[in-house]
């Protein structure tokens, strides 16, 4: 009886993914026109991990593509703890190690989400010859005219509520916070408000603290990009229309300061976690991009 009950629960959890997979014929018709297998590297946002790409990774693989989902430092299954991350270069090191291992004859499609756009931008600077196109989904984008400290300053200026987000003071109570953990209320109402409830439950189980980088000079140095290297890589932006965390206005603020883009796409009905709220639409765009680059 217990076994049958567990199977029923599992079937209920898998039903949303099955419904997404049933939409694959229309996805195939609109993307991957050249029939070539591409290598996607998916980079998660703050507090998340490779796990948050399970829907999109499944859809892309079912179309014959190779997909690598990265756990950045102190994220997902990465063994480091947040108090071991002393600089942003520590944080994005797993992506750089992966890019180093990519053969010189191969090019990948980078897809960065949210804070993952910073790591994506740095990878473009360090490995422009290994990237066919970089895709930014409601993400931060670095350019020679837009630094990461400038983006953080704009976020602070907009003074968005962090609600029940918890802060950690690894350097002592009189020093600035060194990490934060998104609270359940903040995640449910600002990040996942249009996502399936089972994915909210998954995220509340797996999300980890996010390092905060207080050394602004070091932060700027370790995220600096140039037009001669980063600027060589074609880039595409995907706007999440109903994002209550990084609003559409803020996404456009980033876009206008990090031009040019080969294309700017918009996904309707998507919250900040577009890979959960609109996985089929996001995958459709990625398949179209794969057919072009």
DSSP line for 51-110: GGGHHHHHHHHHTT-EEEEE--TTSTT----GGG--SHHHHHHHHHHHHHHS-TT--EEE
Q: Return the ∠ at Cα 163 (arms to 179 and 46), rounded to 5°.
A: 40
- Residues 119 and 95: beta-carbon distance below 8 Å: yes
The token duo for 34 is 């050249």
What per-residue confidence (pLDDT) applies to 35?
A: 67
- Give the number of C-alpha atoms closer than 13 A to the C-alpha of residue 73, restricted to the C-beta side: 20
Active-site residue (options: 114, 245, 277, 284): 114
| Structural domain contains residue 20 | no
Type and span of the H or E element at 237: strand 235-240
What per-residue confidence (pLDDT) applies to 13?
A: 46
Taking the C-alpha atoms of 56, 59, 60 and 61 in order, what is their torsion angle to the nearest 10 degrees? 120
What single DSSP character describes residue 41?
E
pLDDT in tens, the chain (293 residues): 444 444 443 444 444 554 444 444 344 434 434 568 999 999 999 999 999 999 999 999 999 999 999 999 999 999 999 999 999 999 999 999 999 999 999 999 999 999 999 999 999 999 999 999 999 999 999 999 999 999 999 999 987 788 999 999 999 999 999 999 999 999 999 999 999 999 999 999 999 999 999 999 999 999 999 999 999 999 999 999 999 999 999 999 999 999 999 999 999 999 999 999 999 999 999 999 999 99
- Pick from 134, 113, 98: nearest CA to 44: 113
The token duo for 88 is 């942003």
| Structural domain contains residue 65 | yes
| Structural domain contains residue 174 | no
What per-residue confidence (pLDDT) applies to 179?
A: 98
| Structural domain contains residue 164 | no
Active-site residue (options: 270, 272, 277, 284): 272
Q: At what angle do helices 88-101 and 116-126 cross, to 10 degrees?
A: 50
Checking 196-200 for CB contacts under 8 A at 24+ apart, the result is 196/16, 196/276, 196/277, 198/13, 198/16, 199/16, 199/273, 199/276
**Catalytic: 243?**
yes
What per-residue confidence (pLDDT) applies to 125?
A: 99
The token duo for 50 is 């490779």
Our count of domains for the chain comes to: 1
Distance (Å, whole) CA 196 – CA 199: 5
| Structural domain contains residue 264 | yes
Residue with tokens 């989902």: 69
Residue 132 sits in a domain of what CATH number? 3.40.50.1820
| Structural domain contains residue 185 | no
- Residues 44 and 72: beta-carbon distance below 8 Å: yes
What per-residue confidence (pLDDT) applies to 163?
A: 92
Which ranges of 188-247 would DSSP assign to H, the alpha helix? 197-206, 216-222
245: domain range?
A: 38-44+57-159+215-292
| Structural domain contains residue 181 | no
Cis amide linkage into residue 149, ω under 30° from 0: no
Within 10 A of 197 (CB to CB), how many other CB atoms are there? Answer: 10
Active-site residue (options: 71, 199, 243, 271): 243
């Amino acid at each position: 009886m217990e076994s049958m009950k567990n199977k029923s629960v599992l079937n209920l959890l898998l039903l949303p993914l099955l419904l997404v997979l049933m939409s694959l014929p229309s996805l195939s018709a609109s993307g991957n026109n050249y029939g070539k297998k591409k290598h996607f590297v998916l980079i998660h946002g703050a507090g998340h991990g490779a796990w948050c790409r399970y829907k999109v990774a499944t859809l892309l693989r079912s179309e014959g593509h190779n997909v690598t989902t990265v756990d950045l430092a102190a994220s997902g299954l990465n063994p480091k703890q947040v108090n071991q991350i002393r600089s942003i270069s520590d944080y994005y090191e797993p992506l750089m190690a992966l890019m180093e291992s990519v053969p010189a004859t191969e090019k990948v499609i980078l897809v960065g989400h949210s804070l993952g756009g910073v790591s994506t931008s740095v990878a473009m600077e360090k490995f422009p010859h290994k990237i066919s196109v970089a895709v930014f989904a409601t993400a931060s984008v670095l350019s020679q005219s837009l630094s990461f400290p400038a983006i953080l300053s704009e976020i602070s200026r907009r003074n968005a509520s962090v609600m029940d987000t918890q802060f950690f003071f690894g350097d002592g109570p009189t020093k600035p916070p060194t990490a934060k953990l998104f609270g359940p209320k903040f995640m449910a109402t600002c990040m996942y408000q249009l996502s399936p409830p089972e994915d909210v439950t998954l995220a509340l189980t797996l999300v980890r603290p996010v390092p905060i980088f207080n050394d602004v000079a070091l932060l700027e140095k370790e995220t600096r990009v140039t037009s001669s290297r980063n600027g060589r890589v074609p880039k595409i932006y995907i706007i999440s229309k109903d994002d209550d965390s990084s609003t559409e206005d803020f996404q456009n603020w980033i876009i206008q300061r990090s031009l040019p883009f080969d294309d700017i796409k918009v996904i309707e009905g998507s919250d900040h976690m577009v890979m959960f709220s609109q996985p089929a639409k996001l995958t459709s765009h990625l398949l179209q991009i794969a057919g072009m680059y």
